[in-house]
C-alpha cells in the first residue's frame, strides 16, 4: 500500500458516469494534473439496486488497468466517481465499490458523488458558491463548505424549471396554441415544430408512448433559441426560463459575500437568447455572487475530488445524498484526516 | 327491418366508453327519452389497432340484449358510440362495428364520436357554441353547425392547459419550490403534498416510473383548490388555469352572437376557487357567448346523437376525426337523408 506521504508518485482516478456513457481520467494525486483518459459511449445500466456495480466495475477496472500500465508501480491511492442518480440509485454501488477497489488495487480512499457535485467541483473547485448544471434537466447546487444547498432538479413534471425540457415543452405548447388559434401561440414555433416532428396533430401520438419524453422535449429548445430574435413568444419563454434558473441559483447560493456562481452544461449553448436575460436575472436575484466561467467539466471535478481526497485537502462537505466518502480508518472525517499508511 | 317511419316504436342505443368504464343507455328514437341503462366499471382495452372491437362488442352486445329484452319486438334503429381516443385510436372500431351491429340487430345507422363530441351533444344538444370538457385533461370543442373547432386537448406535456393535471403539476412545483427555498413556493401546498405523497424528496422516484402520471398529478388539484382561499400561490395557479381554459373556449367558440359555452367534467367540481376566476375570464375573452349549465352528460349526448340519427334530424357536422356516420345507402349526407327502409 502506498502512502500519500509520498504524493509525487501517487495517482488518482476520476470517473464521470452519465446517460451518454462513461469517462475515466488518470491524474497526479498531487496537483491533479490529468495524465490520460478513457471513455466509453456505453452508459452503465441501472437495475433495481441502482447503478449496476458489476457492469460499472467491468468497464472501469480494465480501463484503469490500461491507464496505469505505462506508469509502472505508481499506486492509485484514491478514486472519485460522479454519477447521475447517485443519490437515489447508487445503493448497489455504495455497497460494493469500496471493497472491490480495495481488493483490486488496495485503494483505501473513495468518493461517490452525485453528478451535480462533480459538476460543482469541476466548475468551482473547492470555493463556496453555486453551480447551475443545465441540460435536459436543471439543478442548482451550492455550498458554503459546511453543507450543501440544492435547488430544483426534480425532473420535467415537478420542476427542472428553465431546463432544456422546460424550454422545449413551452415552445411546443406555443406551437399547439398557434395551431388551435389560441392566445399565446407562435406561428414561427409552429413552423419549426412541423419541420422537426411533422404535422403537429400527430405529435401527441409520437411523444407520449416514448420513454425519453424529456429528451424529445429538450430537442426543441434550440429551435426556441433560434426564434427568439424575431419571435416575442419565443423570447418570452427564454426570459421566463432565465428567471427560473436564476431563482434556483439564488436558493442554492450561500449567503454573504465571496460566493461565485457558475453555469455549466449543454443548456447554456443556447447562447445569448438565454444568457442575456439570465445574466440580468442573476444580477437582480443573486447580486452577492459574481458569475464566473466554469474552470472544468464534471470529469475534471471527479479528478479534483480524488486528488483532494488523496492529499487530505478535501473541503467540500460530506452528505449522505450528495457526497459519500469511504476512507479506511477515518470514514467520517476525511477532510481533516491524518494520512494513515496502516493496513 | 324497422322503419323510422314508425318512430314511436323504434329504439336507439347510446354508449359512452371512457377510461373509467362503459355506460350504455336504451332510449326512444323519438324524443330520446332514456328507458334504461347499464354500466360496467371495466374500461375497454386499447391495442395496436386502437379500441379493441372484440372487447367492445363482448361488453356491449349482451348489455343491449338485456336492455331490449323487456321491450319485445321494438327494433334498435340507431347506435351512437362516444369514446375517448376515438379520433386517433378508433381504427379497429370503425372497421368492425358497422358490420357487427348490422349483423346483430339489423342496425343501419351508427355514429362513432370522439368523447368531446358526446360531451358537446350532452351539454348543448345541437345548438352552436363551445363545450369545455375538463378532468385530468382539458379540451374545448365548438361548432357553428357547419364545422368543428377544437382547442387544446393535447395532453399533459403539450397542453391540457388549466386541466386537473396542469393544476396539480403547478401545485406540486410550488411545493418543491417551498422545499428548496426557491421563490414561488407555497408552504401550505408543501404540507399538503407531504400529507398526500409522503416526504417530497421521494416524489420523483414515486411519480416518474408510473404510467398514470397525469392522473397522479391531477390527484393533487383538489388540494390546490382547498388551499386557494388562504394561499396566494394556490389562488394564482387557479387564476392562471382559469385564463387558459377561457383561452381554449375562446378559440373553439363560433363567432357571432347566439353561441353558448358550457363547462363539463370533473375539473369544475373544484368549485368557486376555479369557477370565480373562470367566469371572469370567460366574460372577458368570450363576451359574445352566454355560459350555460350543461343539459346532460356524455351518455345523454350519445343518446341524443343516436336519436337524431334515427329521426334524420342530426345537425352536428360530420368530421373524420370527431364524428363519423355510417348510414346505409346514404353514408355522406345523414343529416338530410331520406329515411330508407330498404335492405
3-state SS record for chain B: CCCCCCCCCCEEEEEEEECCEEEEEEEECCCCCEEEEEEECCCCCEECCEECHHHHHHHHHHHHHHHHHHHCCCCEEEEEEEECCHHHHCHHHHHHHHHHHHHHHCCCEEEEEEHHHHHHHHHHCCCCEEEEEECCCEEEEEECCCCEEEEECCCCCCCCCCCHHHHHHHHHHHHHHHHHCCCCCCHHHHHHHHHHHCCHHHHHHHHCCCCCHHHHHHCCHHHHHHHCCCCHHHHHHHHHHHHHHHHHHHHHCCCCCCCEEEEECHHHHHCHHHHHHHHHHHHHHCCCCEEECCCCCHHHHHHHHHHHHHCCCCCCCCECCCEEEEECCCCCCHHHCCCCCCC
Which residues of A make CB contacts under 8 Å with B?
88, 149-152, 154-159, 161, 169, 172-173, 176-177, 180-184, 203-205, 207-208, 213, 217, 247-248, 250-251, 285
Residue A321 binned pLDDT confidence (cut-offs 50, 70, 90): confident
Task: Give the pLDDT confidence of B75-104 residue by residue, as tens digits.
Answer: 999 999 998 766 665 677 778 888 888 888
Are the beta carbons of A182 and B88 separated by less than 8 Å? no
Statement: residue A342 has pLDDT above 50: no
User: Once rounded to an integer, what is the mean pLDDT over residues A60-65?
Assistant: 90
* Model pLDDT, residue A1: 42
Q: What is the DSSP letter of A294?
A: -
Instruction: Say whether pLDDT at A45 is over 80.
Output: no
Chains A and B form CB pairs within 8 A to the count of 96
Place A336 in a pLDDT band, splitting at 50, 70 and 90.
very low
pLDDT in tens, B312-338: 999 999 998 899 999 875 444 444 434
The pLDDT confidence band at residue A49, using thresholds 50, 70 and 90, is low
Read off the pLDDT band of A330 (50, 70, 90): very low
- Residue contact A158–B172, C-beta within 8 A: yes
A183, A205, A247 ranked by CB distance to B247: nearest: A183
Of A75-89, A299-313, B30-44, B72-86, which range is least confident? A75-89
If one compares B211 and B160, the residue with the highest pLDDT of the two is B160
- What percent of chain B is modeled with pLDDT above 90? 69
ipTM of the complex: 0.87
User: Which residue's entry shows cell 415544430?
Assistant: A193
Q: Which residues of A touch B248 (CB under 8 A)?
A: 180, 182
**CA dist., res. B299 & res. B39, Å (int):** 11
Please report, in angstroms and rounded to a whole number, the separation of the first and last CA atoms in chain B. 8
Average pLDDT over residues A202-208: 91
C-beta neighbour count of A41 within 10 angstroms = 7
For every residue of A21-34, DSSP letters joined together read: EEEEEEEETTT--E
Residue B179 has pLDDT above 90, yes or no: yes
More confident: B340 or A108:
A108
Higher local confidence (pLDDT), A273 or B57: A273
Rg of chain A on CA atoms, in Å: 22
In whole angstroms, what is the distance from residue A321 CA to residue A116 CA?
11
Q: Is B45 buried (19+), middle (13-18) or exposed (0-12) by CB count in 10 A?
A: exposed
Residue B246: the pLDDT is 98
Residue A133: strand, helix, or coil: strand
Contact B285, B252 (CB under 8 A): no
How far apart, in whole angstroms, are the C-alpha atoms of residue B203 and residue A156?
A: 12
Query: Can you tell me the mean pLDDT for A198-219?
Result: 92
Q: What is the mean pLDDT of residues B95-119?
A: 87
Residue A118 has pLDDT above 60, yes or no: yes
**Confidence at A335, pLDDT banded by 50, 70, 90:** very low
- Partners of A152 on chain B (C-beta within 8 Å) are 176, 180, 182
Report the share of chain B in percent with pLDDT over 70. Answer: 90
Instruction: For residues A172-178, give the mean pLDDT.
Output: 98
The pLDDT value given to residue A91: 75
Average pLDDT over every residue of B12-32: 89
Q: At what angle do helices A164-180 and A232-252 cross, to 10 degrees?
A: 150
Banded model confidence at residue A249, pLDDT cuts 50, 70, 90:
very high
Q: Give the domains, in start order, of chain B with CATH numbers.
A: 11-125+296-336 (3.30.420.40), 130-292 (3.30.420.40)
Q: How many residues does chain A have?
A: 343
Average pLDDT, rounded, for chain A: 88
Give me the half-sphere count of Cα atoms (radius 13 Å) on the Cβ side of residue A94.
18
Q: Which residues of A touch B205 (CB under 8 A)?
A: 88
Q: pLDDT digits over A185-196, tens only? A: 999 999 999 999
What does the pLDDT look like over A161-171, one tens digit per residue?
999 999 999 99
Closest CA to A227 of A266, A191, A173: A191
Nearest Cβ partner for A158 among B203, B251, B285: B203
Identity of the residue in B152, B169, B180 whose CB atom sits nearest the CB atom of A150: B180
CA distance, residue A68 to nearest chain B CA (Å)? 38
Average pLDDT over residues A108-113: 92
Asked whether the beta carbons of A263 and A295 are under 8 A apart, the reply is no
A21 grid coordinates: 456513457
Burial label for A199, CB within 10 Å (0-12, 13-18, 19+), is: exposed
CA atoms A295, A300, A303, A305: torsion sign: positive
A186 interaction partners in chain B (CB closer than 8 Å)? none
Interchain proximity B184–A159, CB inside 8 Å: no
Query: Residue A130: which H helix or E strand, with range?
Result: strand A129-134
Q: Give how far A96 is from chain B: nearest CA, Å.
A: 23
- Which of A104-108, A327-331, B33-37, B60-64 is predicted least confidently? A327-331
Do B287 and B89 contact (CB within 8 A), yes or no? no
State residue A85's pLDDT score.
Answer: 67
Amino acid at each position: 500500500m502506498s502512502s500519500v506521504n509520498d504524493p509525487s508518485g501517487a495517482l488518482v482516478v476520476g470517473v464521470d458516469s452519465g446517460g451518454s456513457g462513461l469517462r475515466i481520467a488518470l491524474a497526479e494525486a498531487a496537483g491533479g494534473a490529468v495524465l490520460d483518459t478513457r471513455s466509453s459511449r456505453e452508459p452503465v445500466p441501472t437495475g433495481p439496486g441502482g447503478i449496476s456495480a458489476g457492469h460499472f466495475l467491468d468497464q472501469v477496472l480494465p480501463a484503469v488497468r490500461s491507464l496505469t500500465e505505462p506508469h509502472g508501480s505508481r499506486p492509485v491511492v484514491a478514486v472519485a466517481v460522479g454519477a447521475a442518480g447517485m443519490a437515489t440509485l447508487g445503493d448497489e454501488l455504495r455497497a460494493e465499490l469500496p471493497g472491490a477497489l480495495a481488493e483490486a488495487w488496495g485503494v483505501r480512499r473513495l468518493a461517490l458523488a452525485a453528478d451535480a457535485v462533480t459538476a460543482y467541483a469541476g466548475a468551482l473547485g473547492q470555493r463556496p458558491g453555486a453551480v447551475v448544471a443545465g441540460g435536459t434537466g436543471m439543478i442548482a447546487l451550492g455550498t458554503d463548505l459546511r453543507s450543501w444547498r440544492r435547488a430544483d432538479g426534480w425532473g420535467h413534471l415537478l420542476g427542472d424549471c428553465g431546463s432544456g425540457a422546460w424550454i422545449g415543452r413551452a415552445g411546443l405548447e406555443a406551437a399547439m396554441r398557434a395551431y388551435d388559434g389560441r392566445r399565446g401561440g407562435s406561428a414561427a414555433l409552429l413552423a419549426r415544430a412541423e419541420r422537426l416532428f411533422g404535422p403537429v396533430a400527430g405529435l401527441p401520438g409520437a411523444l407520449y408512448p416514448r420513454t425519453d419524453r424529456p429528451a424529445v422535449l429538450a430537442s426543441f429548445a434550440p429551435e426556441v433559441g433560434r426564434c427568439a430574435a424575431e419571435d416575442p413568444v419565443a423570447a418570452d419563454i427564454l426570459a421566463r426560463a432565465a428567471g427560473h434558473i436564476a431563482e434556483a441559483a439564488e436558493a442554492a447560493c450561500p449567503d454573504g459575500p465571496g460566493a461565485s456562481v457558475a453555469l455549466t452544461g449543454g443548456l447554456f449553448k443556447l447562447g445569448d437568447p438565454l444568457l442575456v436575460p439570465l445574466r440580468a436575472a442573476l444580477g437582480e436575484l443573486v447580486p452577492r455572487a459574481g458569475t464566473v466561467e466554469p474552470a472544468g467539466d464534471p470529469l475534471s471535478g471527479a479528478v479534483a475530488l480524488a486528488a483532494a481526497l488523496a492529499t487530505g485537502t478535501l473541503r467540500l462537505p460530506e452528505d449522505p445524498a450528495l457526497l459519500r466518502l469511504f476512507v479506511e480508518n477515518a470514514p467520517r472525517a476525511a477532510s481533516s484526516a491524518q494520512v494513515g499508511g496502516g493496513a
